[in-house]
Every structure is written in structure tokens, then in C-alpha cells.
């Protein structure tokens, strides 16, 4: 018995496009960040055929949804998903995506006072402590408690070579406090110290 078949035969499965292999998303809150899983770029190359439905799963096999786009809420870190795309002839394909919710935006840092005057230049050392004489407030979209610390103190004049009465070690600092000396060169425009605070 002979058979003769005519017409298009669907022998090419669809192509699932999950947006992977890696998708990075900036966090938008201190709790969970909404992330859109987007499989709308999936396609079927067979003439007259098209994607009929989608299925999203976690990497553990838990169902997420049946739309081309699904919104999930994720904490900082990584999560993996699998997209299954089916055409009208039940051909299918799968594609993985790993979503990374990252925090690359620095906190907003305010330091007060912005400047102060040290007088008279009597060679005495003064101590300033974060939270007391120096107030620094950091606010971050993703981190409820940003770390704030002193990372440097610099001067526009050297410790020594300024004339009679000059002394060593005009600057000292730790993460939470710094000391500077009331000192200056009489021949110069005045001493300035710059304190670098990092959040």
C-alpha cells in the first residue's frame, strides 16, 4: 500500500528565548525586587505556526506561570528559571535564565559639619568622633544599615619644617574617629585638613 502526503509538515520545534543565560536587575527595595521574566522573544520558524503557550518553572520545578511575561519578586542574590515554549503542534523547547538581583548603586551620604575652624594654632591635638563631633548619615535603597567609616585624613602642609614649635604626627585616624593638630605654617595661607568618610 502506498501513501501520498501533501502539505506542510511541522517538523521544526519552536525556539524558547528566556532572556538568559544571565539577567542582572538592580534592586529597588530593602526587601524584594520585582523582576519580569520575559519569554516574548520566543518564536517558531514553521510557516503558519506560532507559539501557543508558555510555562515558567523554577530550577526546582515549581510552577511560576503560563504567560510569556511573568513577574516574580526576589531578594538580593541569584535565582534560576526555565522557560518552556510550545507551538500549536505541541512542538516544544526550553531555555534557562539566571536572574541576579544586584546592588551597585552607592548610598547617599551626608556629613555634618561640612567644615569647621581650628583656632588658635597652639599645637594641641583635637579628637573628633563619628556620632559625636562629626555626624554622618547614609541612606541606601537596598541596605537598611550601610556601614560608614573614616578612610583618610590629609593635610595641605607637612608635619615638620614649618618653623619653631612644629611637631610630628599632626594626623591620626581610625574607622570611627580622627585627631588633628592645631598647627600651621606662619609663612603659608593657612592649614587645611580634609577628612574622607566612606559609606
Phi/psi at 96 (5° precision): -100, 150
* Distance of alpha carbon 7 from alpha carbon 10, whole angstroms: 10
Query: What is the fold, at CATH topology level, of the domain defined by 22-102?
Result: Immunoglobulin-like (2.60.40)
Question: What pLDDT score does 169 carry?
Answer: 83
The pLDDT tens digits for 108-121 are 999 999 999 999 99
- Predicted TM-score (pTM) of the model is 0.74
Q: Which three cell numbers stand for residue 124?
A: 594641641
Question: What pLDDT score does 188 carry?
Answer: 84
**pLDDT by 10s per residue, the chain, length 199:** 665 555 555 568 999 999 999 999 999 999 999 999 999 999 998 887 889 999 999 999 999 999 999 999 999 999 999 999 999 888 999 999 999 999 999 999 999 999 999 999 999 999 999 999 999 999 999 999 999 999 999 999 988 655 545 567 899 999 999 999 998 888 888 899 999 999 9
Question: What pLDDT score does 48 carry?
Answer: 79
> What sign has the CA pseudo-torsion 182, 185, 190, 194?
negative
Question: What pLDDT score does 2 carry?
Answer: 67
- Ranges of each domain in the chain: 22-102, 108-198
- Nearest of 25, 10, 32, 151 to residue 86 by alpha carbon: 10
Question: What pLDDT score does 134 carry?
Answer: 96
Query: What DSSP assignment string belongs to 146-176?
Result: ---EEEEEEESS-SSSSSTT--S--EEE-SS
Apex 29 CA angle, 25 and 35, nearest 5 = 35
Question: What pLDDT score does 192 carry?
Answer: 94
Amino acid at each position: 500500500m502506498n501513501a501520498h502526503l501533501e502539505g506542510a509538515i511541522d517538523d521544526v520545534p519552536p525556539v524558547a528565548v528566556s532572556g538568559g543565560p544571565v539577567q542582572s536587575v538592580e534592586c529597588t527595595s530593602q526587601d524584594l525586587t520585582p523582576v519580569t521574566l520575559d519569554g516574548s522573544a520566543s518564536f517558531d520558524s514553521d510557516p503558519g505556526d506560532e507559539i501557543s503557550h508558555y510555562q515558567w518553572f523554577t530550577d526546582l520545578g515549581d510552577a511560576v506561570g503560563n504567560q510569556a511575561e511573568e513577574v516574580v519578586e526576589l531578594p538580593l542574590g541569584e535565582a534560576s528559571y526555565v522557560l518552556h515554549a510550545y507551538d500549536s503542534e505541541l512542538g516544544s523547547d526550553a531555555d534557562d535564565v539566571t536572574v541576579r538581583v544586584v546592588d551597585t548603586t552607592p548610598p547617599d551620604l551626608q556629613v555634618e559639619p561640612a567644615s569647621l575652624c581650628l583656632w588658635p594654632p597652639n599645637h594641641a591635638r583635637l579628637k573628633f568622633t563619628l556620632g559625636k563631633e562629626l555626624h554622618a548619615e547614609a541612606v541606601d535603597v537596598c541596605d537598611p544599615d550601610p556601614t560608614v567609616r573614616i578612610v583618610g585624613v590629609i593635610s595641605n602642609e607637612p608635619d615638620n619644617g614649618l618653623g619653631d614649635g612644629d611637631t610630628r604626627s599632626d594626623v591620626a585616624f581610625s574607622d570611627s574617629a580622627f585627631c588633628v593638630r592645631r598647627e600651621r605654617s606662619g609663612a603659608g595661607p593657612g592649614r587645611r585638613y580634609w577628612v574622607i568618610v566612606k559609606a
